[in-house]
Chain A
């Protein structure tokens, strides 16, 4: 009977919590597709630096896992609260707490398992999309193959069920701990607001702002010298920002609510009362939710900007290093064969031939110290070219 009950509950839940289900499903799908990329041999063969790429994907996985922990915990808590009366009824009927916890576990495992299976299949297709994009970037021919990598499945399953079971264990503990009275009357309770005074909120707010700036300062220390940069300070800065974001949202939301509820004229204006009272009843969860979303947005924006910056940097470097379409260097002064080939096969409009002379090493490379040209000189000589050649080349580049 209890098994039947939990099966029905799971079925009803799947209907009630469609959003929860779809979210888990998408998270699993994303996690699986990223894992597939990380372990894919096709992609690893693309380039030597692909191991770094795989490492970056693992980093992204960590972020997804973090979001997953928060998401699953949040929804399970939400479900527990929503169903507290039901659990209270079970207890009143004389069902052992252990059995109630088991029932909840079975239900959630069923939902989790279905989400995992469907999510994995969805992930296969998402992986195809991602890998075709990557292959495209490297201009590789690509065929769609329904590849199913057990290693990726293993990693995904490990992450997903690891988190799922941890959260579930926590929920079980809660079910066993909560008194039946609290379960039956749970919907009548509000979350309590820990910091009651305005001053406390303002103080926390100032601390959060301070942390933003100390974070910035720590980060700048890391970027002062590119040679000694090891990322430790960057991580420290990120930690400071995370704390700052949560503190900021916690204090500001409490401050705003307090500000409106303390003054009766503000409180009773329009529908302020209804709005702010609804906010206060769930203020702890709400500020954490806001903080988490803000943090993710911050990461997305920082990540996006860094990606754009790196892209610009690399493109720039290509432009600087190789400004012409075709450059041929040779110790043999006879270029006629090359010229002939180019005239046959390409549509070159302008061509110029010049000589480089080597002279004994000068102090010139000292002038490049600290710029991106540092260390680009040749070992024994410095190379020079004639001024006419130089001007002609500039003309070709229209500068």
Chain B
């Protein structure tokens, strides 16, 4: 089976500063993501991983190079079309959830469907269906401040997937969670990937989180340093390989729990 390439990153660079004082946050990165992949990006802080995610998610712009999502070049997308592009193609999961405080969990999820003009009749059904799958039916009528961090992140994930985006971009999704909630969330992401065919790109510095991915890119100083794949191995085995690479990468082993 030939898998469709959903994301193509071609030789992108991102500079900060001016001529005299140039900082390269991303220095010539290229990679592809296929449909249905769960890919992780790891690296120390300052390695450029969040910048890379920001560029892919249209939050930031690249200095040079191209990013194709579903064959559309997002580096050349027009300002007027960007909102439409985002709501149709991208799903986001942030470290600090970014839920809207004035809306209930259900309404937070519904919002994304209403702005995509899904018929009203369908909205309720789709939310319920997805909420059941993700185990958040009990909290649908609560407000974000009434639920725990783990539940908030589940809600955010539900919001990210409910409209079936081409790719889900997750920036340190477990960063604000305790280890139990983090594990639950990762299992949920894995489930979303395997059973709902979601393509997920996740940035993390946590080896445990990364071990749920199928493929991991390691960044160092804005370049791809290494690339490993899980293949048919057990998660534990993969976890140890990640630790080995991190040891090689230098400095990150102190984060191992």
Contact = CB atoms under 8 A, between A and B. Distances in A.
Interface string B97-135: 010111100010011101110000000000000000000
Given A91-B83, A94-B115, A95-B87, A9 B102 contact: yes
Interface string A54-95: 000000000000000000000000000000011011011111
A86 B90 CA distance: 18
Interface residues of B, number: 25
A2 B90 CA distance: 20
B59 interface: yes
B98 A91 contact: no
A86 B98 CA distance: 7
B90 to A, nearest CB: 7
A180 B59 contact: yes
Interface string A1-41: 11011001101100000000000000000000000000000
Contact of A5 (B86, B92, B103, B116): B103
B84 interface: yes
Contact of B111 (A1, A11, A97, A184): A1
Contacts of B90: 92, 94
B115 A92 contact: no
A343 interface: no
Given A92-B86, A94-B86, A8 B102 contact: yes
Contact of B60 (A8, A89, A181): A181
Contact of A95 (B57, B102, B115): B115
Given A180-B59, A181-B54, A96 B83 contact: yes
Contacts of A8: 102-103
A5 B100 contact: yes
Nearest to B60: A181
B58 to A, nearest CB: 8
A102 to B, nearest CB: 13
| A interface: dominant SS | helix
B68 to A, nearest CB: 19
Contacts of A89: 98, 100
B98 A85 contact: yes
Contacts of B83: 91, 94-97
Nearest to B165: A94
A54 B85 CA distance: 58
B59 A12 contact: no
Contacts of B59: 92, 180-181, 184
B88 interface: yes
Nearest to A8: B102
A85 B110 CA distance: 20
Nearest to B123: A1
Nearest to B114: A1
A93 B114 contact: no
Nearest to A97: B83
A226 to B, nearest CB: 61
B102 A93 contact: no
Contacts of A5: 100, 102-103, 111
Contact of B100 (A86, A94, A96): A86
18 contacts: A1-B111, A2-B115, A5-B111, A12-B102, A85-B98, A86-B100, A89-B100, A92-B86, A92-B92, A92-B98, A93-B86, A93-B112, A94-B84, A94-B90, A94-B112, A96-B83, A97-B83, A180-B59
Interface of A: 1-2, 4-5, 8-9, 11-12, 85-86, 88-89, 91-97, 180-181, 184
Given A1-B107, A93-B86, A184-B59, 19 more contacts: A1-B114, A2-B114, A5-B100, A5-B111, A8-B103, A85-B98, A86-B100, A89-B100, A92-B90, A93-B111, A93-B112, A94-B83, A94-B84, A94-B88, A94-B115, A97-B83, A180-B59, A181-B54, A181-B59
